[in-house]
A and B are shown apart, each in its own frame.
Chain A
Amino acid sequence: DTAVSQTPKYLVTQMGNDKSIKCEQNLGHDTMYWYKQDSKKFLKIMFSYNNKELIINETVPNRFSPKSPDKAHLNLHINSLELGDSAVYFCASSQASGTYEQYFGPGTRLTVT
């Protein structure tokens, strides 16, 4: 059984479009995260939600909007896509935001043309 799943796995789209990436975890965790991995494989936190409440919002353009309909889901919506948004986006979850390890999803490779 997949613990943290993301859809789609690959996403190719044109500049200016709006797209969403979905994430679901079946671990019963309270906290979920979005990370961005750039072309140099550097990983950086974008957002974190704890029980549907936003707790981390790093310096991310307003075009990125996370939505958590329930604590098992954290979706990422991106408006007006730009070339620089091309990256691999990883969702992760942890039991809580404290001393707990994070479990990562398989990633979504977004390519903006």
Chain B
Amino acid sequence: QKEVEQNSGPLSVPEGAIASLNCTYSDRGSQSFFWYRQYSGKSPELIMFIYSNGDKEDGRFTAQLNKASQYVSLLIRDSQPSDSATYLCAVKNAGGTSYGKLTFGQGTILTVHP
């Protein structure tokens, strides 16, 4: 079992729709969760981070965390063609040899078509 799993996609949504990206993780000791957007040929860009169970909203983006189910998601409202990218879920642990380490999923490719 992979430590962080994402559906690789591609996920295709029409412009203006809600895009839903999902991520599960295996380590119950994980404490913080990040979503990065990566355009082709570029480095990952931080979109949101979440630490507590529930929802966190920032503009068109909402991150949802459920630690009991070991599940984190990212919703993108009013999707735009410029949102087309690979979305990376990353999980951070607190202790041991993994101190400060980010563990990434393989990423979900999102395509927003006009």
Do A and B interact? no
Give B residues with C-beta under 8 Å from A. Answer: none
